Chain A
């Protein structure tokens, strides 16, 4: 059932920005292309469900834009925008079963939204209040991993644990094109293949690792690597929410049924900066951005709905109301967030009491007590 990656062995120059060799169900103009092999995986997705995915993407983009604004207003120290990657995140996250576990990088705020993470917990890290916001066991989603690619190995370990438990759930791990150069990511593929761990490797190829174009990480399609590790691979239009959902379902189906790991390269584009501290005008052309704007994941779905007379005033009003209310709650949650207490800097280093650290805690408390109003 898997589409194998297109062989390019006779072709010495592979254009990595070429978007031909991938699974696509809805193109940039909103035209639905039937696929005899892929359609069955999303046959149950009604137009109403597609409208829900559309709503998710609009809401997540609104959160993302709001977060960037909050950073500009001094309310956040930093924010890693996912602008342009909504279809990759929503399409994959909405394909997951509730008991599937997620090992994300730090940009998967759209995925976290789908998992029901509280809105203020999406920015607690970026406001500088904590290094991690939520309890992974509650949301079946680990907290963001900032070290590039480290989480891919955690996914394999978790997956091996699933096998040992005799469970049939899966793990999906998110990472970018930059992470594919990391040793950890490659080791994770080796270990996953060795133990046939139920892991979905979900690479969002957003074409940029800060200032480095994907061509610096890979001279061939990233998806071509996985088969060499013994892992079936797919390349999918990452701006096509339906195709992403189909690909993720295929990979999950394999994982849930003892089929081992699968690799997905979702070809998408980071329309914003790497983070709010970054300035992409220093390293990429405006033309490239314009080219990808034309392939926007949200506007293509609007075109699809328009072509079917489904983009009704009612739908538009519903989605706008949801985005407005989420944005307001998100902003209020961010600004109203309670500051961490001073002495909590010493908390949760170890579980067993460390007398050396307790001495430092006690001494710092004494130091603070020297000041009027100190703790």
Chain B
């Protein structure tokens, strides 16, 4: 009896609410899930291989053992089924967190996300709430096969009724995930899979947590505003350092929320710098960068010294791994765009198109 009690106590030890730890981004998401599940018994995890295996990226590692098979549910291999079931659970009063194994696997669930999850609140004139979080490991740079490196966030940002966010560091991963789960709106939570193993300090009791919809100024600067999110924030940070060595002061904004976009934060920055560069891994046309460039041009036209620049993936399918370094925006392409908005010599100086 005593042994059993001890075993139970061991596996239900409360998630830390104070103190700090150095965690990988993946483990900070695990910690966020664990905390959310302890705080609210209506939180249920569902997805493929998330139970015993702990997910293909081990993000849910140990959670089924701790919370049981009815709160960490391995599902049949059907993404529409996963999302559709989450809708029903939400209607019953639950707060489902669905894991889509890889970005490129989300399309079978697209209809349920776009036509049901996003629309039921509007359709019901506010009577139905969809407090669903859909976790999606996204982006490239891991040398994987097709369908494992995509950035589909713009599809969802184009859909009214969804909030779309992406974290770039362990502290945000921990905090934003809990905010997403606590939100009564459906949230698409894009996890930068190539940063899963990046470490950072996580303050479990962090006060003054930035609201989920707000962008963060990562570093202040006066010459150029650089907007990034998810996996490219780390790349953009490198660009900030490299540019500083060259005497160029970049203000880096981590968008965090892709829908809605915190335009006030970008506006404030561009009114100071007069120059805007936006970057993402997703293809360029009709992407988040286009929306940021257009909206900031509308709002800050008289402050702009140069046309906004986009540094993005190409309008191609995601290429084979051997070519992905050319597809993915990197430090040098970011610096080249910074040169363009500054009117300095750059790769396109002699380009005639």
Contact = CB atoms under 8 A, between A and B. Distances in A.
Given A160-B89, A191-B85, A352-B185, A153 B80 contact: yes
B260 A355 contact: yes
B263 to A, nearest CB: 7
A354 B211 CA distance: 12
Contact of B163 (A157, A183, A191, A350): A350
A78 interface: no
Contact of A190 (B78, B91, B96): B78
Interface string B157-199: 0001101000000000000000000011100000000000000
Interface string B87-119: 111111110100000000000100110011001
B84 A187 contact: yes
Nearest to A199: B88
B116 A356 contact: no
Interface in A145-166: 145, 147, 150, 152-165
Contact of A157 (B92, B108, B123, B161): B92
B353 interface: no
Interface in B45-92: 70, 73, 75-76, 78, 80-81, 83-92
A347 B126 CA distance: 8
Given A147-B116, A356-B260, A356-B261, A157 B88 contact: yes
A103 B116 CA distance: 13
B349 interface: no
Contact of B115 (A150, A163, A183, A190): A150
A155 B260 CA distance: 31
Given A157-B88, A351-B129, A143 B124 contact: yes
Given A157-B92, A161-B92, A136 B128 contact: yes
A137 interface: yes
Contacts of A150: 84, 111-112, 115-116
B116 A349 contact: no
A156 B161 contact: no
B80 A183 contact: yes
Contact of B86 (A131, A157, A183, A355): A157
Contacts, number: 147
A164 B70 contact: yes
A154 B91 contact: yes
B88 A348 contact: no
A142 B91 contact: yes
B121 A135 contact: no
Contacts of A160: 85, 88-89
Given A136-B124, A154-B116, A157-B86, A351 B92 contact: no
B264 interface: yes
Name the interface size band of chain B.
35 or more
A329 to B, nearest CB: 22
A147 B260 contact: no
B129 to A, nearest CB: 7
A75 interface: no
B119 to A, nearest CB: 8
Contact of A154 (B88, B123, B125, B260): B88
A156 B126 contact: no
Contact of B84 (A137, A156, A164, A194): A156
B263 A356 contact: yes
A352 B87 contact: no
A349 B161 contact: yes
A39 interface: no
A354 B116 CA distance: 19
Nearest to B44: A164
A351 B76 contact: no
Given A136-B127, A348-B126, A351-B184, A157 B84 contact: yes
Contacts of B213: 352, 354-355
A49 to B, nearest CB: 31
A142 B121 CA distance: 12
A100 to B, nearest CB: 13
Contact of A132 (B87, B115, B123, B129): B123
B325 to A, nearest CB: 34
Contacts of B73: 195
A134 B127 CA distance: 8
Max count, chain B CB within 10 A of own CB: residue among A142, A152, A160: A160
Interface string A121-147: 000000000111011110000110101
Contacts of B260: 354-357
The 10 A-B residue pairs whose C-beta atoms are closest, nearest first, are A157-B88, A153-B84, A161-B92, A187-B81, A157-B85, A158-B88, A154-B88, A135-B127, A348-B126, A131-B123
6 contacts: A132-B127, A153-B85, A183-B78, A351-B184, A355-B260, A357-B160
Given A132-B125, A355-B262, 9 more contacts: A103-B88, A142-B91, A143-B123, A154-B91, A157-B84, A163-B70, A195-B73, A348-B124, A350-B161
